[in-house]
A and B are shown apart, each in its own frame.
Chain A
Amino acid sequence: QQTIRLTAAAGHPPVFLWVKLIDEYFIPEVDKPLAAGGKHKIEWTKAWGGTLIKIGSESKGISDGVADLGFVSTIFEAPKFPMQNVSYYAPFGTSDIGTVAGVVNDMQTSIPAMGQAWTKNGLVSLAGTALDSYHIWTNFPIKSVDDLKGKKITAPGPAANWIKDTGAVAVAGNLNTYYEDIKSGVSNGVITFATGAWGAKVHEVAPYITKVNFGSQFAGALAMNKSRFDKLPPEVQKVFREVSAEYGKRFAAAQAEAADGLLRKMADAGAKVSELTPAERTRWATTLPPIAKTWAADLQGKGMPGDQVLNGYMNGLKKAGAQPARDWAVK
């Protein structure tokens, strides 16, 4: 029997689903068939919550071999994975997690430059994943876009663009910082998603939850160090591929199932959940400058197929039956 020593790591702690599922689903499910086969055994070291690699340095940590596999949040590594961030530049798309994950994953195959971002960074993407629809958590009530004027809103990575021209100012942050940011006055609220917000207990400090439905977002992938993966025995690689695919599906299903229930739980805990009217939602979407066009032009300027990715994404959404509140490919 051959023992393979692997270190799994993530910048986020296991209160968040994508990490929890690596720990509680991916690792045991990989171990099972290997144990049954009897030829290989993996000895895991786990390091979640940034103890080994920090959010924003996940891809570097894994490609350097500091960890062997883990979750790479492309949203916090936009300079390295610019095209993977397309959904964040085209908000108000669809709340369907499967659609967003499917469209982006398809493009990673059909647009070579996009898929190559992983290999160029020394990684193998095992399962690209999307997050449940984004809403806004604030410590003040929101009835219309105008309520945002003069406020500071924490937004992850490119989501900073979602409050452009609303009179609010964006503050950079991630799930590990939202709670403290709002509590200490760095910001008055945060744009995030229900399953993440629950883990970060955001509703305790920002009890006004306004369901804006910015849409589901492609945020990262379970990824492995490329040379380590290539060196795995073929049968082990196969197990990794299969379990990863199932991990991706389970993650999407778990979020879809949990999101509404968690919003209710937050309401039970004293949060005030409301839904933005469709008219205000459309107003919000049209208030924003042409952020997708700006982004695509920036990519084109750097020699990347920004337009192709943007058009591909919008077309993919429409083909899947989604009705985006704004066609970012047009303006």
Chain B
Amino acid sequence: MSAITVASLSLLLMLVLIWAGMHVAVVLGIVSFVGVWLIRGDVSVAANLLATASQDAIASHIFGVVPLFVLTGFLVAIADVGKDAFEVANQLLRRLRGGLGIATVASNAVFAAITGISIASAAVFTRVAVPEMLRFGYNPRFAVGVVAGSSVLGMLIPPSLLMILYGFLANQSVGDLFTAGIVPGLVLALAYAVGIVLMATLWPRSVYVNGEGARAVDAELLPVGTLVMKLLPSVVLIVAVLGGLYAGFFTATEAGAVGAAIALVIVLARRKLNLRSLWSVLTETGHVTVSVSFLIICATIYTRMLAMSGMPQFMVEHMTQMGLGPTGFLIIYVALVIALGMIIDSSSILLIVLPLMLPIAEQFGMNLIWFGVVTVVAVEIGLLTPPFGLSVYVIKSTLQDSRISLGDIFRGTLPFTLMMFAVLLLLIFVPQISLVLLKAPGG
């Protein structure tokens, strides 16, 4: 069997096993092990490759970024930073049509600048924003839809676990990826806000149960001082972490450590944490870190198996021979990613697709930072699409409300999925949106 055949079959087998529910990392490890064994005809080579990757794949100081940003994310969730941001946005935007929806998007954008996981956003805002929207006569489908849609901001606006993963697989600067995600994140948030206003104006029943929202009562308004106090922690965190990163004071890893320390101070100052809950947050952090890291180890094994098979070389040559231009390649690539996003989770998509596609993107001379932003947005569409849409699942399980079915949430999310797709196209055809904030080298 030729090495190329081995690699192709392994790809197919991998998709089937992942879909069937085998642990993704285990799938990558086993398939690669068997692949190397077949390619090299020597079981000890395959075993050694596994052991070496276990030792060296994540042995990098850059990798410290994972536990630290995850920890920050959990701490700010406990500190009610998301809830506060929502209350502030709610008050500021109360006069707009669809104001609560826009407030959800805006506060999600703020929360996203602190947390790196979309499902954290989905869970927090299901608890915070959905009840408020229902109270003010919003359509339940719209309420959950806007939470799902804006949860993707969590991994587009930095920090972002997906970008960290991409940075590792593509050997790109995590700091640059973070910077590149800022404007696209804001553009997406803006697109959502405009979309919500349009929906509320043109099809009011898609937003409000009775086609009309309940008026906010001014007596409930919070004094300006309270508003400022509520927003202060977010501002401090964003300035310290993203500001420090952007100004070159510290690396992504260090930004994570600084962020975690500040978040800890905020949580303690607000008396939201006792020893027990602190311990469970730390344990939780460890578990997320390990599942990401172990995925990266196994993805490295898989990448090495592919390198050994010559498959990426082969694909690059064929893509070039086919005369497929960069645009054609991008269209196929994005379509593939979105299709995979319907059935498997975000990280698995990156792990499977990137080792094959990056050499081609490189061959076309594409900017790999921009390519990363496009990839992350395309992958995140998968969080919202049925049948496997993680953000939607998280909302459903957080909601605990039998009147709102999974199908309702998917339907409510659809307008936002479409808006996201439009923004994706914009990002593809206007790379400057992603690259504008990147400083010219030497600057």
Binding site for B on A (CB under 8 A): 7, 9, 45-47, 49-52, 54, 56-57, 60-61, 64-66, 176, 180, 183-186, 201, 203-205, 207, 270
Q: Is the CB of B442 within 8 A of A207?
A: yes
Q: Is the CB of B304 within 8 A of A65?
A: no
Q: Is the CB of B45 within 8 A of A204?
A: no
Is B364 part of the contact surface with A, judged by Cβ < 8 Å?
Answer: no
Proximity string of chain B (243-263) to chain A, C-beta cutoff 8 Å, 1 when within and 0 when not: 001001111101000000000
Q: Contact check: which of A64, A183, A203, A207 meets B48 at CB < 8 Å?
A: A64
Contacts of B225 in A (CB 8 A): none
How many pairs of residues, A versus B, come closer than 8 Å at their CB atoms?
Answer: 72
Cβ of A297 to closest chain B Cβ, rounded Å: 29
Q: Is the CB of A64 within 8 A of B248?
A: no
Q: Is the CB of B308 within 8 A of A52?
A: yes
Q: Is the CB of B52 within 8 A of A60?
A: yes
Tell me, in angstroms, the Cα distance from A47 to B3 when the chains sit together.
15
Q: Is the CB of A66 within 8 A of B308?
A: yes
Q: Contact check: which of B45, B245, B304 meets A51 at CB < 8 Å?
A: B304
Q: Contact check: which of A7, A61, A66, A270 meets B442 at CB < 8 Å?
A: A270
Cβ of B425 to closest chain A Cβ, rounded Å: 31
Proximity string of chain B (214-230) to chain A, C-beta cutoff 8 Å, 1 when within and 0 when not: 00000000000000000
Tell me, in angstroms, the Cα distance from A46 to B307 when the chains sit together.
8
Known: A60-B52, A61-B52, A65-B45. A7 touches B251 (CB 8 A): no
Is B56 part of the contact surface with A, judged by Cβ < 8 Å?
Answer: yes
Proximity string of chain B (33-52) to chain A, C-beta cutoff 8 Å, 1 when within and 0 when not: 00000001010110011001
Tell me, in angstroms, the Cα distance from A16 to B3 when the chains sit together.
28
Contacts of A52 in B (CB 8 A): 304, 307-308
Q: Contact check: which of B52, B56, B175 meets A64 at CB < 8 Å?
A: B52
Contacts of A270 in B (CB 8 A): 442
Q: Is the CB of B441 within 8 A of A186?
A: no
Tell me, in angstroms, the Cα distance from A47 to B313 when the chains sit together.
9
Tell me, in angstroms, the Cα distance from A57 to B304 when the chains sit together.
13
Q: Is the CB of B56 within 8 A of A54?
A: yes
Q: Contact check: which of A50, A66, A185, A186 meets B49 at CB < 8 Å?
A: A66
Cβ of B181 to closest chain A Cβ, rounded Å: 16
B443's nearest neighbour on chain A, judged by CB, is A204
A269's nearest neighbour on chain B, judged by CB, is B442
Nearest 8 CB-CB pairings of A with B: A204-B441, A64-B48, A47-B307, A51-B307, A184-B251, A65-B45, A204-B442, A52-B307
Contacts of B48 in A (CB 8 A): 60, 64-66
Tell me, in angstroms, the Cα distance from A207 to B441 when the chains sit together.
11
Contacts of B310 in A (CB 8 A): 45
Cβ of B49 to closest chain A Cβ, rounded Å: 5
Contacts of B245 in A (CB 8 A): 184
Tell me, in angstroms, the Cα distance from A47 to B45 when the chains sit together.
16
Contacts of B304 in A (CB 8 A): 51-52, 66
Is B303 part of the contact surface with A, judged by Cβ < 8 Å?
Answer: yes
Contacts of B206 in A (CB 8 A): none
Q: Contact check: which of A51, A184, A205 meets B303 at CB < 8 Å?
A: A51
Contacts of A49 in B (CB 8 A): 171
Tell me, in angstroms, the Cα distance from A184 to B248 when the chains sit together.
5
Is B91 part of the contact surface with A, judged by Cβ < 8 Å?
Answer: no
Q: Is the CB of A47 within 8 A of B308?
A: yes
Majority SS at the chain A contact face: loop
Proximity string of chain B (306-320) to chain A, C-beta cutoff 8 Å, 1 when within and 0 when not: 011110110000000
Q: Is the CB of B49 within 8 A of A184?
A: no
Pull 29 A–B residue pairs with CB atoms less than 8 Å apart, ordered by A.
Answer: A9-B307, A45-B3, A47-B307, A47-B308, A51-B303, A51-B304, A51-B312, A54-B56, A57-B56, A60-B52, A61-B52, A64-B48, A64-B52, A65-B40, A65-B42, A66-B49, A66-B52, A66-B304, A183-B441, A184-B173, A184-B250, A184-B251, A185-B248, A185-B251, A186-B251, A201-B441, A204-B441, A204-B442, A205-B442
Quick one: which of B287-335 are within 8 Å of A by CB? 303-304, 307-310, 312-313
A63's nearest neighbour on chain B, judged by CB, is B48
Cβ of A288 to closest chain B Cβ, rounded Å: 26
Q: Is the CB of B303 within 8 A of A66?
A: no
Known: A45-B310, A64-B45, A185-B250. A56 touches B175 (CB 8 A): no
B355's nearest neighbour on chain A, judged by CB, is A51
B40's nearest neighbour on chain A, judged by CB, is A65
Tell me, in angstroms, the Cα distance from A201 to B173 when the chains sit together.
14
Contacts of A185 in B (CB 8 A): 248-251, 254
Tell me, in angstroms, the Cα distance from A52 to B175 when the chains sit together.
25
Contacts of A50 in B (CB 8 A): 171
Cβ of B6 to closest chain A Cβ, rounded Å: 13
Tell me, in angstroms, the Cα distance from A207 to B351 when the chains sit together.
37
Contacts of A45 in B (CB 8 A): 3, 307-310, 313
Q: Is the CB of B173 within 8 A of A180?
A: yes
Contacts of B173 in A (CB 8 A): 180, 183-184
A61's nearest neighbour on chain B, judged by CB, is B52
Cβ of A263 to closest chain B Cβ, rounded Å: 16
Tell me, in angstroms, the Cα distance from A60 to B173 when the chains sit together.
27
Tell me, in angstroms, the Cα distance from A288 to B185 when the chains sit together.
50
Tell me, in angstroms, the Cα distance from A90 to B171 when the chains sit together.
33
A204's nearest neighbour on chain B, judged by CB, is B441
Contacts of B45 in A (CB 8 A): 64-66
Known: A45-B313, A52-B304. A64 touches B49 (CB 8 A): yes
Tell me, in angstroms, the Cα distance from A193 to B380 when the chains sit together.
42
Tell me, in angstroms, the Cα distance from A180 to B171 when the chains sit together.
11
Cβ of B313 to closest chain A Cβ, rounded Å: 7
Interface centre among B45, B304, B309 (most CB of A within 10 A): B304
Interface centre among A52, A65, A183, A184 (most CB of B within 10 A): A184
A201's nearest neighbour on chain B, judged by CB, is B441
A206's nearest neighbour on chain B, judged by CB, is B442
In addition to A51-B303, A186-B251, A203-B442, 8 A-B residue pairs with Cβ atoms within 8 Å of each other are: A45-B3, A56-B56, A57-B56, A65-B42, A65-B48, A66-B308, A183-B248, A207-B442
Quick one: which of B414-436 are within 8 Å of A by CB? none
Tell me, in angstroms, the Cα distance from A201 to B440 when the chains sit together.
13
Known: A64-B45, A66-B304. A57 touches B52 (CB 8 A): yes
Cβ of A202 to closest chain B Cβ, rounded Å: 10
Tell me, in angstroms, the Cα distance from A52 to B355 when the chains sit together.
12
Contacts of B309 in A (CB 8 A): 45
Tell me, in angstroms, the Cα distance from A207 to B440 when the chains sit together.
14
Contacts of A9 in B (CB 8 A): 307
